[in-house]
Amino acid sequence: MRLRLEKRPSPSQFMLFATPLMAVALTMVIGGFVFTLIGFDGFGAVREIFFTPLMNPLKWQDLAVKATPLVIIAVGLSIGYRANVWNIGAEGQYVLGGLSATGIVLLTQDMSGPWILPLMAVAGIAGGMAWVAVPAWLRTRYKVNEILTTLMLTYVSVNLLNYLVFGPWKSPRAFGQPQTIAFSADQSLPYIIPGTIVQLGAPIAVIIALVAWFVMSRSLFGYQVRTVGAAPYAARHGGFSANQTIWVSLLVGGGLAGLAGMLEAAGPFGRMVPQFPTGYGFTAIIVAFLGRLNPIGILIAGIVLAITFVGGEVAQTTIAFPYPAVGIFQSMMLFFLLAGDVLVRYRVRIGNRASAGDSTSEASA
């Protein structure tokens, strides 16, 4: 007896939507059991991690804040992933976006006006794009694998950040601590819901997801990206340039990561500090997959991931659930989702009966 995969003629739409839900449900059940077995309050943890943040309206604002950068970055990444372009260094592009916006802040220290914030946004996007342009150029010109170059530039970006905040950008009023000056009101995002901490970034994330959904499903560009990713040879026949697709999808991904960095710097952070990179760029990769590389799915997945982060803190404070275990819950969720992926594209047969399935080597995810 063995598992055998039989390719579906087309991806199962039902499984496409069902598997993420199954992954979350399985994580709760199996995670709850496993942690109970090893002596923790496993199901209490499931309650606090997955349900408390949803049930408590006070937590909704936190979810919005936490999900915003995840959604924006993941939407950008998903476009590249659809085209089979693997930018995994969004963290670096996010940092560069934040740094570029901070550069504008320092240049406009003594100025005011509503034009500063849009300028910071443009700078943030440009910063993210510039950082991803290096891997894009290396990939299209020299066929250098972008997975590795984007990842490596992330480490360089963190060092650049440290150099700036410990050196030339250090605030003179920071008591020697590595941080820039605080952003002024004109350099910070406005709050959009009075009495909460929800800033302009949250609606921007929703709009980006909707626009991306429209572009990817309704425009020629979306079709081009999907074709280049799924069938590069057909795409070439159809007149789509692979290099152009690589460039555009990487620049969109880098630009959106840069924008997320700007929104985070001008929003929740309010100044540039060495702690600015918090792993959003990496978590967004998980969000992109959990959301099935679909912008609307990503919007939901971003909120799910945000729930686990916020809930993880709740579980720590209420039932003293250990922090590292939250990471285990998150990785379990992703493992189950990835395992479930197979159900979307294949029927799983058990046994040795011969089938009509053909040898397939899939380039797509």
What residues numbered 10-29 form the site for other proteins, per CB under 8 A? none
- The residue within the footprint of other proteins, chosen from 28, 45, 64, 65 (CB under 8 A), is 65
Of the pair 102, 149, the CB lying nearest other proteins is at 149
Q: Does 8 bind other proteins (CB under 8 A)?
A: no
Q: 103-128 in b/e burial notation, b at 16+ Cβ within 10 A?
A: bbbbebeeeeeeebbebbbbbbbbbb
**Residue 111: HSE in the Cβ half-sphere, 13 Å Cα cutoff:** 12
Taking alpha carbons only, the member of 310, 342, 348 closest to residue 23 is: 342
Decide: 161 and 272 in contact? Cβ < 8 Å: yes
What would the two tokens of residue 236 be? 């070439």
Pick from 1, 175, 233, 350 the residue near other proteins by CB under 8 A.
175
Rounded-to-integer distance, Cα 130 and Cα 135, Å? 10
What phi and psi values does residue 5 have, to the nearest 5 degrees?
-105, 135
For other proteins, the binding residues in 117-156 under the rule CB under 8 A are 134, 138, 142-145, 147-149, 151-153, 155-156
How many residues bind other proteins (CB under 8 A)? The answer is: 91
Binding span for other proteins by CB under 8 A among 10-18, 52-60, 186-194, 252-260? 52-60
* 325 contacts other proteins (rule: CB under 8 A): yes
- For residues 144 and 159, give the distance between their C-alpha atoms in angstroms, rounded to a whole number: 23
Could you say whether residue 230 binds other proteins (CB under 8 A)? no
Q: Which of residues 66-125 bind other proteins (CB under 8 A)?
A: 66, 86, 88
54 binds other proteins (CB under 8 A): no
Running DSSP on this structure, what letter comes out for residue 199?
Answer: B
Residues 292-321 that bind other proteins (CB under 8 A): 309-310, 313-314, 316-320
Task: Figure out which of the listed residues 203, 222, 232, 357 binds other proteins, where binding follows CB under 8 A.
Answer: 357
**From candidates 78, 140, 224, 330, binder to other proteins by CB under 8 A:** 330
Closer residue to other proteins, CB minimum distance, 13 or 361:
361
DSSP state, 269? I
Instruction: Give all strands (DSSP E) within 199-295, no chain letters.
Output: none
Single out the segment in contact with other proteins by CB under 8 A; choices: 11-19, 201-209, 250-258, 323-331: 323-331
User: According to the binding rule CB under 8 A, does residue 1 interact with other proteins?
Assistant: no
Whether the Cβ atoms of residue 198 and residue 64 lie closer than 8 Å to each other: yes
Contact 95, 73 (CB under 8 A): no
Among 126, 276, 303, 308, binds other proteins (CB under 8 A): 276
